[in-house]
Amino acid sequence: MKKRKLSNSELARLSPQEFKDADKLRITLVLDNVRSAHNVGSAFRTSDAFRIEKIMLCGISSTPPSAEIHKTALGAEDSMDWEYFEKTEDAISVLHEEHYRTVAIEQAENSIALNDFIPDKTRKYALVFGNEVKGIQQNIVDMCRDCVEIPQFGVKHSLNVSVSIGIVLWHFAAGINYKL
């Protein structure tokens, strides 16, 4: 069977306003001191692709407008809702008040393998991702309800944060059988 690549016009993408008005996957992304604006831009683009609620940018994480964010976000910084918090602790506290289940995506003692974590359709989730070198601050891991780890089998002990975001968002979207 022949497979013809679809053109952009055939993809039936939403307009920015339609995106703002559309139902969202009940997930908020929290970036804890992500130092690369390109990784932040990638987080925006991936978050838009999975139509999540919003992104919380914390600490040294870059914020729009930014040419570096735009380079990888390709405009998703305009469609995605986002907030900035100087301290990640404040973002986590707000999420707890709003009854989000906070999940640190980190390699830690007693973490749950991503493939063993089954998202609950009835819950709102906040997924926390950390700095490219240091990961999530320990006090932030301590504040989170769960800690989930992406199983890895090679020599390197980590993935780029933007890759991790894509893997985890896909897992959550597939796990709750999210249909757009």
Q: Report phi then psi at 55, rounded to 5.
A: -125, 135
Give the dihedral of Cα atoms 101, 102, 107, 113; nearest 10 deg: 20
In whole angstroms, what is the distance from residue 101 CA to residue 153 CA? 28
In whole angstroms, what is the distance from residue 106 CA to residue 85 CA? 21
Coil, strand or helix: which one is 97? helix
Which tokens go with 59?
A: 């600490």
The predicted-structure confidence for 83-141, as pLDDT tens digits, reads as follows 999 999 999 999 999 999 999 999 999 999 999 999 998 999 999 999 999 999 999 99
In whole angstroms, what is the distance from residue 52 CA to residue 67 CA? 23
Coil, strand or helix: which one is 28? strand
- CATH domain 22-175 topology: Alpha/beta knot (3.40.1280)
Indicate the average pLDDT of the chain. 94
The predicted-structure confidence for 52-94, as pLDDT tens digits, reads as follows 999 999 999 999 999 999 999 999 999 999 999 999 999 999 9
**Residue 9 pLDDT greater than 90, yes or no:** no
Helix axes 161-175, 37-49, angle to 10 degrees: 20
